[in-house]
Every structure is written in C-alpha cells, then in structure tokens.
Amino acid sequence: MCAGHLFDAFKIPKLQLPAAMDQAHALVAIAGAAVITHLVFKRWEPTNIGILALLLLALPMGLSTLLLPHYGPLLAPLVALAAFHAAMLASIALYRVSPWHPLANYPGPLLAKLSKWWLVWKERHGKQHLYIQELHEQYGDVVRIGPNDISIRDVEAIVPLMGLKGLPKGPAPWGAPIEPSVVPLIGIRDNAEHARRRRPWARAFAAEALKGYEPMLTRRLAQLVDKLGSQQGAVDLSIWLSYFSHDFMGDMIYGGGHELLANGDANGIWAMFRAAAEGQMMAHHLPWLTTFTSLLPASPGLQKMRSVALRRTMARYANGSDKKDLFHYLSNEDNAEKISPPPEQLVTETVLAVFTSSETVAMILSNVFWQLLQHPQYYKQLQTEVDRYYPAGENAYDTKNYDKMVWLDAVLNEALRLYPITPSGSQRAPAPGRGDRIVGPYVIPEGTNARVHTWSLHRDPRYFANPNAFWPERWLVAGGHASAPAGEGFVHDARAFVPYSVGPMGCVGRDLAELEMRMVLCALVQKLQFAPAEGWDPAERERTLRDEFVVCMRGPVSVVVSKRT
C-alpha cells in the first residue's frame, strides 16, 4: 500500500508545507532585516569579526532561502546579499540626512553627512585643512564634516571642549597604532587611564628633568652648527634640522645611534619615520578599518619600524643608562610607578616620541627660517636681539636669557600661528554612556566627534588682525612691548592661539619643544648667516603643505650658509 493510502486509511492528517513566499514579500522581509541590522550597528557598533560576518553575510545568506523558488540556488544568495546591503545603506543614508539625526541642525555638505568617505576623498591630496576652512567660510562656526563629526571655529568652545573639564579623546587615533595590541597615549579615551599613562611623560618633561637634557641638546646642536658651517653652496636647511632633531631624540630615547648629522640617512631610519606619516589620514577618519587591516600582514615599512624600535628598546633595557633621559622615565627606571610597562608599550611610546617630537620640532624651525628668509627685516631684528643677549663669544646654549627675548618668542609664535602642528585639531567626543555634552554654545550629542579647527581659528580675522600675514609684531603689541599701527584696528585674542592644544590632553612635550627651538634659533643665528639660495622658490614649500594629522611640508628651505665673524 502506498503512503498516501496509509494516510487515508488511518485518517492521519497530511503535513501542509507553507506556500512559497511571493517575491515582493520576500524582498520586503530581507529589507526589514537590513533595517534592523542598521539599528543594531547604530546602537552597539560591533567590531568583532565574527559578529560582523554573522550580521553582514550569514544573515542575508540565510534569508536567501526565501528567494530560492524565484531565483534558484545560484542566483538567490546574490540577490539576497544585494537587496540586504542596498536596503541597509538606504536606511543609513536616509537616517543621516533626516531631521531625526542628532546633528540635523548643524549645516554641512550633503555628501559629508552621508559618509566619512567624502572627507577621505577630499583629503587625498593632503589639503583637508583648506577644505574644512572653506566649509567654515560657507557654513559658519560649526560645520558637519561627517555623519557624526563636527568642526568648530569658535574661541568660546576651546576650554569647554579641551580644558580641564573637557571631553575625552575621540576614536580617531585608534586607527594607526604602531603596535596593534597597544593604544598610544594620544589615542587613550578613558580620562583616568590617560592620566596614568601620561604620568611618566609629565615627569620626563618637568623643569628639573629638562635642565638635565641641556648637555645632550648642546652637544647635538654644536654638531649641527659645525656641519652647516662647513657646507658649500646651497643646502636644504629643513633636512639638516630634521637630522638634528632625530639625532637628539635618538639620544633621549635610545642613548644615541641615529647619527644622521654625521652619516646622513645611510640606514634609511629617517626615511622610514617620514614614510610612516604618509597615508595615515584614512585610518584617522575611519578607525574601524583597523578591525580588518590588523588581520593583514603589516607593510614592509611598518614591519621595519617595529623591528628597529623593538630591537633598540630591548638593547636599551639591557644596557641601561648613566643619565636620566626620556627612556629613563617611560621605562620606569625611576621606579615611580608600581608596575613597569611591557616592551610592546615602550615600542609604541618611543616611536610616538621620535615621530611627534622630531618631525614637528624640525618642521616648526624650518617654517621659522622659511618665513624669516622671505622677510629679511624680521631676520635682522632677530639677529639684533640675539646679538644683544648673546654677543660674539657668549654661550648661546645657556638658557638664562631666553625668557627675556620677546622677538625670539614672537617669530616662533607667529610661525606656529600660521602653520600649527595639528592643522585640523585634536578630536574629542563625549564619553560613551554619559549622554550629551554642552560645549560653549553647542550641544555635542553622545556618539559625536568634535574638533576645534586650529587652522581656521588661527586665521580668523575676528581673533587676529591681518590673519594671513607673517607679522611677528602682533605678539609684541599684545605683550605691551610695542604700539599698534596707527589707523588700524588691532585684534589679538590669545585664547584663540592653541598650537599645542590645551588642557590635560594637550601636548605633553611642549616645554621640551620650546627649549629646543629657542636654543636652536639662538645658536644658529649667533654663529651662522643664512641667505636664500639663488633660484629658490619659497612658494614651493607652501604648495607642498599637507595635513597628515600633523603639519607636513616637503618643500625645501634652500639656503647658503656662512659663518659669522
């Protein structure tokens, strides 16, 4: 007897299979799942690879069974994936431009509201600082530069955003750690952890510690003076200043070993660190990419940097030191901390110190000379001040007069105002789970990243008169050392000058950087004479300016150097 007759004979009800869902309803179900997935990402922002695969691949593949009767086993998964992701992207896009988005009241370009990839595209040539400045000119003091990102050009927001009671760091620095397992100091978002990790740096840059670094600095600076004084013909001063700064930080961290002033970049160390700065902005804007890039082999350049840093870190551990340098404090040789940091953390911290200190100090000094050579009257004024406090035969490495040299500070400040270290500022964000924050006149919703755009702030005529000109006198007028030009409205709001950022997460190495720059300028101006090289185009340096989180300029400062008699 067949099975059908058995069912009939014993009155057993037959199992009724559901009819195949029609195509339209199947696609609606897939789209609904995509919208729910968008809500999951909006609420929890998962980064675990397994969860991402489950939500973005396994879920639509499972839903593809609804389409099997309509497309067959080969085409159904493809249609389901396409429909799922199209619906999810549409849901995301509509939400981001809708009046229900927390940043709906902040103006900005439509494409910037839709995706952070727009800013990545705009900054591909390194001109992000100019693009954001244009947005501020178009939209005002607060502009939306991403779906959840705003830029602010308002002095009233500085202290509330970055001051003592300001917001924690934003997620941007997470995207480019040297060691994937160690978040660098500049990327730590938890205020308490940041303060703990910052303590060794603070001890390393205290006044007493800085005094101990002066002999190392003097030795390297004397070497720079000798090298420059022996050059024939045109030289690129920016490269020599970078060599000097890298050698000094090599002394401070590893006890020496770079020797760029003596040998040039024979081992490729200088080029390695410079290359590390390039291409970082994508990770800065899209830190979640680290979830995927961390699974890939590191680039040869990054592998080499890690290898060199780890090797030199371990060698320094083994050899110790007879002086209190930066490594002395970072490695807890002073026993001030209960627990010493692991080598992986020191690799991250030492590379951070070499790059952020060496390249930024060299860049600022290069910019000072770049501007002074274009304004010989200012060069002469600096030379006159140096000669007054450090006449021939006087020790220009002695810091006793630096705090009296108002013109020296004026040219440094003016170079920093025009070309700040971080042109686009440092990102801040409300702590997760703590709700919205009020920053000056602005509401910063939880989940929003905010920054004060330093470049725009420093060049705003509301805060600085004649803002686009290199005019060191403004600092003398503001300090009461000179009178404002007759017939001109003088504006100078010192609150808007934030080249090192401000607050507990500002530049911890500021005092060392200023000591180094003052000593370099005094020594070089006292002992050497600089003149523009024939055929040098100063405008080339401006054209090469790039915003790579820190200011980056590869154009030369081409000079002819002679010894002063």
14-55 per-position pLDDT tens digit: 434 345 678 899 999 999 999 999 999 998 888 888 999 999
**End residue of a domain, out of 71, 96, 121:** 96
Residue 222, domain member (yes or no): yes
Q: Can you give the CATH number for the domain in which 240 is found?
A: 1.10.630.10
**Is 200 found in the same domain as 67?**
no
Please report the pLDDT score of residue 12 as a whole number.
39
Angle made by CA atoms 128, 131, 422, in degrees to the nearest 5: 40
Q: How many independent structural domains does the chain possess?
A: 2
Residue 462, domain member (yes or no): no
Please report the pLDDT score of residue 309 as a whole number.
75
Residue 476, domain member (yes or no): no
**End residue of a domain, out of 65, 96, 127:** 96
Q: 517, 412 in Cβ contact below 8 A?
A: yes
Query: Using only C-alpha atoms, what is the Rg of the chain?
Result: 29
Residue 484, domain member (yes or no): no
Known binder of ligand: residue 2?
no
Task: Please list, in sequence order, all residues whose beta carbon lies within 8 angstroms of the beta carbon of residue 467, skipping any fewer than 6 positions away.
Answer: 458, 459, 460, 461
Please report the pLDDT score of residue 136 as a whole number.
98
Q: 119, 281 in Cβ contact below 8 A?
A: no
Residue 232, domain member (yes or no): yes
Please report the pLDDT score of residue 464 as a whole number.
97
pLDDT means per 10 residues, the chain with 565 residues, are 43 45 90 96 88 94 92 93 97 97 97 95 92 98 97 96 91 63 79 91 93 94 96 94 92 84 82 68 79 66 71 78 85 88 82 78 95 97 97 92 96 97 92 90 94 97 96 94 81 95 90 96 97 94 90 92 90
**Is 78 found in the same domain as 182?**
no
Domain of residue 528, residue span: 172-421+499-563
Residue 265, domain member (yes or no): yes
Residue 403, domain member (yes or no): yes
**End residue of a domain, out of 81, 96, 111:** 96
**Is 179 found in the same domain as 91?**
no
Q: 544, 537 in Cβ contact below 8 A?
A: no
Write out pLDDT tens, residues 71-123. Answer: 999 999 999 999 999 999 999 999 999 999 999 999 999 999 999 999 999 99
Write out pLDDT tens, residues 528-538. Answer: 999 999 999 99
**Is 394 found in the same domain as 276?**
yes
* 449-452 and 546-548 beta bridge pairing: unpaired
d(CA 229, CA 56): 63
Task: Select from 512, 555, 536, 511 the least CA-distant residue to 419.
Answer: 555
Amino acid (1-letter code) at residue 484: A
